[in-house]
Structure formats: structure tokens, C-alpha cells
Structure 1
Amino acid sequence: MPRAGLHEQAAARLRLLIVRGDLAPGEMLLETELSQALGVSRTPLREALKQLASEGLVELRLNRTAIVAPLRREELAELFEALSGIERCAAEFAAMRATAPDIEQLEALQARIEWHRDRGELRPYFEVNQQIHAAIVGFARNTALKAARDLLLPRAERARFQALHVHGRWDESVREHQEILAALKVRNAERAGRLLGQHVWRTGQVVADTLASETDDHGSAERPAVTTMTRKAGP
């Protein structure tokens, strides 16, 4: 396989492990172990780590070690504030521009996430959930909007997956998706945008609240308390 292919393959596999929490925030990434586990040499592995660092999933240290980037409340606040605005705008355009087959595709995806939810299949649910968000952005038919979202997506995916582990959020998320789909079907751009913006913002709030709770439980004083996620994406 070409060198570029090895680096991209390694980055994709590591990205999935980080997003799904198999590699925990703050965990050290040892080159020797990763090279063996991924079946690549250190050169493409280092290129993969640099790529993930540019996406905000890995932090590179001066001594050439790397760790999985921690989830920080203040960074999550900014991330989901920006993402909620982007996806709100995308939903407004999608309500105006989506075709009948586009809406049918969203209906099929909605049926799939409810099917996975009913069976307690978290990871398949998460994958289809991400497809729904990507589809709505795609149906906005705005390449600049999509490019802006793509820059934030890797970090957001990890937080979204973590949010689904919070009690009650899974069912809440399904209900929110049902309401968003209903607004898109009747071409209500304002409502679709407001609902999707709030849905994305709510995910960030759930993760931020969880991190705050964990900090309090461990009595950590490493970082002062920060008031985050206090402003919704819509009225």
C-alpha cells in the first residue's frame, strides 16, 4: 500500500477508537504499541498522529509523546456554540432546498435510529445519527457551510458519542430528531433551524455537565470552574 494510504488508514482507525472512547481522554499513545496494533511503521503512524492533532483529537508533546486530547468544558462550549450555528443555518437551507427523495432518505434514516434505539444498539445508532446530521448539511447544498462543519466534526463526534451514555439523553435525542424531521417535511425553515441548533447545543451541554460532575466527584482543583453552555442556539 502506498505510504499515503498507510497514514490515512492509521488515522481513520485511531480516529474511530478515540471517538468511541476505546482510547480514553488523556491516555498516552505509545508509538511502539500502536505500530504493532495497527500494522504500520512509525513514519506513517507519526503522520497519522499529526493529522489527528490538527483535528483536535490528539495532543503532541515536546518529548515526542502523544496523548488523546482531554475533553475540556470551556473548549466544548465554543465548539458546540459554533457547530450549533452552522447546523442551524444548514437546516434552514435544507428546509428550502431538499428534494422529495432527500426527505424520503431522512425518513428512512429516522426509522433506522429508532430501530437501533429500541434494541439498545448504541454504536449502530450513533453511526446512523451522524448520517442524519451529515445528510441535512448536504441537503443545504452549500459547500462553504459543509466545509466549515467538516473542520469541527472530529471533535464533535467524540462529544456526541459520550453524550449518548448519559441517562435519558438517548430517548431525548430521538424525540428531537423526530421534531426536526417534521419541520423539514413541511418546509418550515425557521423551526427546522431552531430545533437542530438547540439539539446540537443540548448535546454539548450534556457533555459539559457530565465533565463538571466528574470534576466535582474527584475534587479536582486543576482548573477553575467555568460557566459554560449558558446560551442556547435559538430563542
Structure 2
Amino acid sequence: MQNANFDDDKVIAPLLPKVERQRLHDTVVEHLRRFIVEGLLEPGRKLNERELCETLDISRTPLREAFKVLAAEGLIEISPNRGATVAKMTEAEIRETFELMSGLEAFSGELACERITPAEIAEIKSLHYAMVACRAQNDLAGYYSRNQAIHDRINEAARNSALRQTYISINRRLQALRFRSNYQTPKWDRAIEEHEAMLEALDARDGKRLSTILRHHLLEKRDAVLQLVSTERAPDTQP
């Protein structure tokens, strides 16, 4: 799947509504984060303030405030000389961050099995069925958002605020890579199978099993992303 061309207003304009003034700051951050996750703003890309202001129908002040938030999250980098660019992780950073995330997800699964409520399990099952429906419609964005919501609900069900804050911080750095790892259809189907196994472990309150599934799930994502990144960067190494 190719990234959308951000310079093409006909491509970008229909994707998101104009920013509502009452939620200006949060909405600008959400929009930019989504642009980055879905590849509309790819790693290493310089952010053009004029284009973004026109696309979001905002002034430069809230845009620059949003840049500061995204820089703190590690999604963009701000340089006095170059302005803002979308952050680009090295292969070593990708490997290490996914390994850390696999541990956070595994621990979340263990605690969730001890503390999750029947209502929370029902919500996760509902998200799973919605994710499967998106797969049937080849709706990658819908599939991904529900996929991530499932992982997020498991983390919330762990009921550990320190784990929660660390999880959110690390996951934001990986979201764009996790999204791209689903470009190949077989990976969608494999993820669905693994999510079905997660639901079975949750139903059984089997923390060790869910922990193992989640760790394996994230390490598979790591390998898929590293393979993708290696393939994309290979031409850059040619003489």
C-alpha cells in the first residue's frame, strides 16, 4: 500500500473534518497524530506549516503548540535550523522498543486476567467482532483502530496507573509502525487468529497464557516491521 500524497488536497481534504474551535488544541494534536500513524506524514518528512494550517484550517499558533506535544511524545523532532520533521526510528530503536512493548503487553495481560470484569470482556469481544467486520471490508484504518482499542482495553483492565502511563508513552512511538505492519492481508488474518486466542485466555482468566500470547504477538510485529523497514531502506545503501 502506498502512502497518500500529502500535497494533493483532493486526497487529504476528505479524510478529516475541519478542526472545531472549542477543542482546538486537542483536536490538532489528534489530527496530526493520525496523519503520522496512517502514513500521510511519513518518517523523516519535513512538516510544512503553511500546508498543515491550510489543511486543518487553523493559524500557526495552535499548530506550533501541537508540535511541542508531539515532540514530547517522540513523534516529531524540532530543530532550530530545520523546523519540525516526523521522527524516524533506527532499526536498533525499533527492535528495542518493540521488545520493551512486548514486556508491557505481557504484564498487562497477567494483571488483566486477575482484575478484568465481565463487562470489560464483553466490550473487548465487541471490538473484536467489529475488527473482523473491518477485515471483511478491507478497511485497514477501521481494523487498526479496533485492534489497538483491544490492546488498550486489556492494558486499562490491568488497573495499574504506572504501567498505564508507560504503556501509552511507548505505544505512541510504535503506532505508525504497527499500522504499516498490517499492509499485507495475511498479517491481518494472522492477527485475528491471535486475538481470538487472547479472548479465550481472558475468558479463562489464564494470565500466563495471555501473557505468552501478547509477548509473541508483539515480537512478531517487531519482526514484520524490521523486515519492512529493511526492505524500504535497502535502496538507500546502494552506491
SS in 2 for 1:59: strand
Match of 1:96 in 2: 114
In 2, distance between residues paired with 1:166 and 1:209? Answer: 12
* Structure 2 unaligned blocks of 5 or more: 1-18
Q: What TM-score, normalized by structure 1, do the two folds share?
A: 0.87
The structure showing larger relative contact order (alpha-carbon pairs under 8 Å, at least 6 residues apart) is 1
Equivalent in 18, 28, 37 of residue 19 of structure 1: 37
1:96 shift after superposition: 1.4
- Aligned: 1:69 with 2:84: no
In 2, distance between residues paired with 1:57 and 1:221? Answer: 28
1:54 shift after superposition: 1.3
Give the 3 Å change call, closer, same or farther, for CA 71–83 of structure 1 in structure 2. Answer: same
Q: Following TM superposition, where does structure 1 have runs of at least 4 consecutive aligned residues deviating by more than 2 angstroms? A: 1-9
Q: Is the 8 A contact 2:101 2:167 kept in 1?
A: yes
- Aligned: 1:46 with 2:81: no
SS in 2 for 1:187: coil
Matches within 5 A, 1:88-127: 88-127=106-145
1:80-136 per-residue CA deviation (whole Å, 9 max, x = no partner) reads 111111110010111111112222122211111111112211111111111101110
Match of 2:164 in 1: 146
1:39-61 per-residue CA deviation (whole Å, 9 max, x = no partner) reads 22222211111111111111112
| Amino acid across the alignment from 1:220 | T
| Amino acid across the alignment from 1:100 | P
Match of 2:4 in 1: none
In 2, distance between residues paired with 1:179 and 1:2? Answer: 40
Q: What TM-score, normalized by structure 2, do the two folds share?
A: 0.86
Equivalent in 165, 180, 194 of residue 176 of structure 1: 194
Number of residue pairs matched by the alignment: 221
1:72 shift after superposition: 2.4
Q: Is the 8 A contact 1:60 1:67 kept in 2?
A: yes
In 1, distance between residues paired with 2:103 and 2:112? Answer: 14
SS in 2 for 1:70: coil
Q: Is the 8 A contact 2:20 2:27 kept in 1?
A: no
| Amino acid across the alignment from 1:75 | E
SS in 1 for 2:237: coil
